[in-house]
Amino acid sequence: MSESGRKVVIGIGLLLATGALIGWSYGHVERGLLIAALLILVWMLRSLIIFERSIHSGEFNAFQYGDGIWQQMASRFRYERDRGDRYKSQRLQLLKEIRRSTRAMPDGAIILDEQLEIITCNRAAKTLVGLKPKKDRGQRVDNIIRDPALTELLRADDPTMTVDIESPMQDSAWLNCRLVPYGAGQKLLIIRDVTERIRLNKMRRDFVANASHELRSPLTVICGYLDSLAGDAAVPEDLRQPILQMQAQAQRMSIIVADLMQLSRVESSGRAGDEEHVDVTAVLTAAARAYAGLESSPDIQVEGDASIRILGITREIESVVANLISNAVRHTPKSGHLKLCWRKAENGAELIVSDDGEGIAEEHIPRLTERFFRVDRGRSREGGGIGLGLAIVKHILQRHDARLEISSTPGQGSEFRCCFPAARISAAT
């Protein structure tokens, strides 16, 4: 029992005893006790009522002095209340700061529940996609942002997948959307303004396409004159060698320009059509035959499953095969072996070009498909590679929903594997 509690008990005991004593002196002990008890009750009731009123008004003036149980209770109450207020204002401050930071975020964030209905969003989401947080609460998010690509993203429910959608608020602005799991069963839809990135990409593509197009016509003229000069018997002997070199370099340049144009074409067009049934085995055989007669080419083996076809564009698959083979031939000695394989795989089919040539160091593999990337800058000049082949391969495969996997061990050879999904495969008719 606390100090003040004991005091109260002692005080009440004393009062009752006094009442009993006075009552006894008059000969009525029980009346004295009763009056004392009533007095205590009245006093307690009065204190209780004042205390109750103090709680409501928040002023504890009546209990300011002394150290009785009521004063103790009042000060305890006041202390707890102040502490609660302090906590509350701290929490509010924190909440305000969190709100302020989500509001300052340039990316839109929308919190969705399991049914993909909107719970809340930040300010950027309001301006980027025109959400009205109060009105749209409980709406499915794709009822407000109605881009088919976004619906696809919501259905796929894959945190690594992102889609670019056109902004519903602004003409020719682009938004990148991503759905990540959040909290218990909730989802967070993150929306980022990528207009600038898309514009830059487009500018780069347009530039490459225009530049290579503009370069082609003068090159054709130069090549034409050089060809006729090289065959002209009237050209003095001391000019013959320079002209032959010029001719070789001009041809090399036209190949580069042609590759650049092809690259910009496959890059800027969307998904490849799937009307043609490409007979990959025939393509592989034809490509192998083209190299068979060459002096420097290694032994080429073809292993094709003629029963499966790719649904895609023949010309582009041919280009993939040609690029992969010419790379492999370039990096394999004459005594080496090249294997072309076309077969069914787990989810679709795969086209494999493998060699036992010099191989590629591991750190170079991720950069192989970058344009103009060359492992060995010094040697590739005379080898004829210009570093566009694998970039073209990558983009063509992307257009066919396929992907390129490269594995290699230096000194033992490399393997280039193109994996086509089942949707792109058909049985031969």
Partner 1 sequence: MQASDLTQHISRRFNEDLEELRNKVMAMGGLVESQLSKAIAAVVSGDSELGLEVANDDYKVNALEVSIDEGCSRILATRAPAAGDLRLIVAIIKTITDLERIGDEAEKIGFLASRLAAMDRPPDSYRELKTLGMHVLQMLRDSMNAFARLDDAASIKIVHEDERVDDEYEAIQRQCITFMMEDPRTIKRVMNVTWAARSLERIGDHTKNICEYVIYMVQGRDVRHTDLSESAPEK
Q: Which residues bind partner 1 (CB under 8 A)?
A: 130, 132, 135-136, 138-140, 142-144, 146-148, 150-151, 166, 168, 171, 269-270
CB of 149 to partner 1, least distance (A): 8
CA dihedral sign, ordered 255, 256, 257, 260 = positive
The one-letter amino acid code at 418 reads C
d(CA 223, CA 217): 10
Distance from C-alpha of 338 to C-alpha of 356, rounded to nearest angstrom: 7
* 113 or 350: CB nearest partner 1: 113
- Least distance (Å) from partner 1 to the CB of residue 193? 18
For the CB of residue 274, give the shortest distance to partner 1 in the complex, in Å.
Answer: 13
Name which of 171 and 237 has its Cβ closer to partner 1.
171
For residue 117, what are the β-bridge partners? 140
Give the nearer residue to partner 1 in terms of CB position, either 179 or 321: 179
Strands (E), 288-368: 299-304, 308-312, 337-345, 348-355
First-to-final CA distance of the chain? 96
Running DSSP on this structure, what letter comes out for residue 272?
P
Contact in structure between 388 and 368 (CB atoms under 8 Å): no
Q: Which is nearer to partner 1, 53 or 146 (CB)?
A: 146
Among residues 106, 95, 103, the alpha carbon closest in space to that of 121 is found at 103
| CA–CA gap between residue 130 and residue 44 (Å, rounded) | 63
Least spacing, CB of residue 213 vs partner 1, in Å: 16
Convert 99-138 to b/e letters by CB count within 10 Å (16 or more is b). eeebeeeebbbbbbeeebebeebbbbbbebbebeeeebee
Of 265 and 337, nearer to partner 1 (C-beta) is: 265
Q: How far is the CB of 50 from partner 1 (least distance, A)?
A: 48
Given a contact cutoff of 8 angstroms between Cβ atoms, the answer to whether 179 and 191 are in contact is no
Nearer to partner 1, 6 or 146 (CB): 146
Question: Which residues is 276 bridged to in the sheet?
Answer: 312
- DSSP per-residue letters across 146-172: --HHHHHHHHH--TT-EEEEE-SSSTT
Separation between Cα atoms, residue 104 and residue 146, nearest integer Å: 26
Q: Nearer to partner 1 by C-beta: 151 or 251?
A: 151
CB nearer to partner 1: give 81 or 271. Answer: 271
